[in-house]
Chains A and B, each alone.
Chain A
């Protein structure tokens, strides 16, 4: 479990996170949602240690990231897998090379053992057969799946995903969501997903934290998001035309019969 307590971060005097507290549960898909510029990426980057907040604490199963020395942070990071918005695959390595990279750097296993583990991870994300291709030769959805395979190669305890569906079509987005959800439940990982995709929110949102203007505005799960009674959240949820039309229809005609 990851606990965030009273986290504050500002840039050049502008407060981006203001006293944010949240809990991210083990074996659940925890979603951070909010509009662009609301501070969710800053929260995510603070969680993984890429940014240092001015105040607060970030507890990884009781261990405070902000109190750790360099060696402790290094050790913790080997328990973390991260899926970046743009996949962040190494251009000079093949798909297999990318997945083998963390294994090569941290396990001390033989090449054959690392290859076997990498192939298992690729198979898990349905990418068997693409191992010898370079990132530039595969689609955006496949790149995301390679990045997931790389992120789970070391059996991480914590998995962070920064907008995993950005740039993907709705069908591929659902596939990625299902993959992340399955991996989370299968391996008991604490998964934190940063998104503003409502399909993800309604599909896999077991613990949702809504960030608005640097504040934690609402916490709940996907079944409570429609009747949250929070104006900022409603504005966010019903921002798309489709949701707006469904909302208007239900308001005027009631729920349609099955």
Chain B
């Protein structure tokens, strides 16, 4: 049973007893697993401390943050729009098919679509998708800089390379993620509206009424707050794996994969925690 653990080397680690193939977990392996996980977490904390040091040149940090907003955020808008419009349409169709009862009002389709998009799709699912696009981009970019000694060159110049490279990425993605979430919400509803207009599954007026019925404003804030956490997770975790990549192209690819997988797992974990904290 291969076990995923926070750390490149540990991904190969198995809990099974290696000596007799009995499938039993050994205490030695478990303690090794725990100590390696803790060591990786410790390294991540030290990395974050370096990232959040005061920048040497604020103007350069602002310039780079703006560039990262364009690269990581604005360049993701087309992907967000395409995914959102189709998923919005699909959610509307599925809601209509599953809520086809004379006892349930027709506007429930719009209402359910709205709440699914607000509560889960526009933040958690969107961020899982962006973890693939943005996370792999960050990890491979920083990983390539590491293996081609560009990060060493920064360190030799006396520049805090973690702060210089990673802080603008985290700041850029965290600042722009709410904009992507709002784009996602709007285009998902447009996708559902398209279904209402182009098919006879649900009357347009009922769909529009459903979108507005029993509206809870907190759901919007809930989605936006979650997206900030997820943006931080994507940028920091992917940067961490890229920053500590070593070797060649193979290791950069592995760092990229580890970054995406870890980001996704932590997004799901924090989704549960934040939902419990913010909705109950």
Interface residues in chain A, defined as those with a beta carbon under 8 Å from any beta carbon in chain B: 48-50, 73-78, 80, 82, 84-86, 88-91, 101-102, 104-106, 160
Given contacts A104-B60, A105-B57, contact A78 B152 (CB under 8 A): no
- Which residues 133-176 of B have a CB within 8 angstroms of A? 148-150, 152-153, 155-159
Partner of B149, one of A75, A84, A101: A84
Q: Is B75 an interface residue (CB 8 A)?
A: no
Question: How far is A74 from B154 in the complex, measured between Cα atoms in Å?
Answer: 11
Question: How far is A85 from B150 in the complex, measured between Cα atoms in Å?
Answer: 11
Distance of B55 from chain A, by nearest CB (Å)? 11
Question: How far is A90 from B64 in the complex, measured between Cα atoms in Å?
Answer: 14
Asked if A77 and B157 sit within 8 Å, CB to CB, the answer is: yes
Asked if B150 and A90 sit within 8 Å, CB to CB, the answer is: yes
Asked if B60 and A105 sit within 8 Å, CB to CB, the answer is: yes
With a cutoff of 8 Å between Cβ atoms, the chain B residues found around residue A75 in the complex are 158
Asked if A105 and B152 sit within 8 Å, CB to CB, the answer is: no
With a cutoff of 8 Å between Cβ atoms, the chain B residues found around residue A89 in the complex are 150
Give chain B's interface residue range (CB within 8 Å of chain A).
10 to 19
Show 30 residue pairs from A and B whose CB-CB distance is below 8 angstroms, ordered by the A residue.
A48-B156, A49-B156, A50-B152, A50-B155, A73-B158, A76-B158, A77-B155, A77-B157, A77-B158, A78-B157, A80-B156, A84-B149, A84-B152, A84-B153, A85-B149, A88-B149, A88-B150, A88-B153, A89-B150, A90-B150, A90-B153, A91-B150, A102-B157, A104-B57, A104-B60, A105-B60, A105-B159, A106-B157, A106-B158, A160-B156
With a cutoff of 8 Å between Cβ atoms, the chain A residues found around residue B158 in the complex are 73-78, 106
Given contacts A49-B156, A91-B150, 16 further A-B contacts (CB under 8 A): A73-B158, A75-B158, A76-B158, A78-B157, A82-B153, A84-B152, A86-B149, A88-B149, A88-B150, A89-B150, A90-B150, A104-B57, A105-B60, A105-B157, A105-B159, A106-B157
Distance of B157 from chain A, by nearest CB (Å)? 5
With a cutoff of 8 Å between Cβ atoms, the chain A residues found around residue B155 in the complex are 50, 77
Distance of A48 from chain B, by nearest CB (Å)? 6
Question: How far is A88 from B130 in the complex, measured between Cα atoms in Å?
Answer: 30
Question: How far is A50 from B246 in the complex, measured between Cα atoms in Å?
Answer: 14
The 10 closest A-B pairs by CB, nearest first: A77-B158, A88-B149, A88-B153, A74-B158, A84-B149, A82-B156, A88-B150, A78-B158, A102-B157, A48-B156
Asked if B60 and A50 sit within 8 Å, CB to CB, the answer is: no
With a cutoff of 8 Å between Cβ atoms, the chain B residues found around residue A73 in the complex are 158
Question: How far is A88 from B155 in the complex, measured between Cα atoms in Å?
Answer: 12
Question: How far is A74 from B159 in the complex, measured between Cα atoms in Å?
Answer: 8
Question: How far is A84 from B159 in the complex, measured between Cα atoms in Å?
Answer: 16
With a cutoff of 8 Å between Cβ atoms, the chain A residues found around residue B152 in the complex are 50, 84, 88
Distance of A162 from chain B, by nearest CB (Å)? 8
Given contacts A84-B149, A86-B149, contact A50 B56 (CB under 8 A): no
With a cutoff of 8 Å between Cβ atoms, the chain B residues found around residue A88 in the complex are 148-150, 152-153
Question: How far is A193 from B182 in the complex, measured between Cα atoms in Å?
Answer: 55
Asked if A50 and B156 sit within 8 Å, CB to CB, the answer is: yes
Question: How far is A50 from B56 in the complex, measured between Cα atoms in Å?
Answer: 20
With a cutoff of 8 Å between Cβ atoms, the chain B residues found around residue A90 in the complex are 150, 153
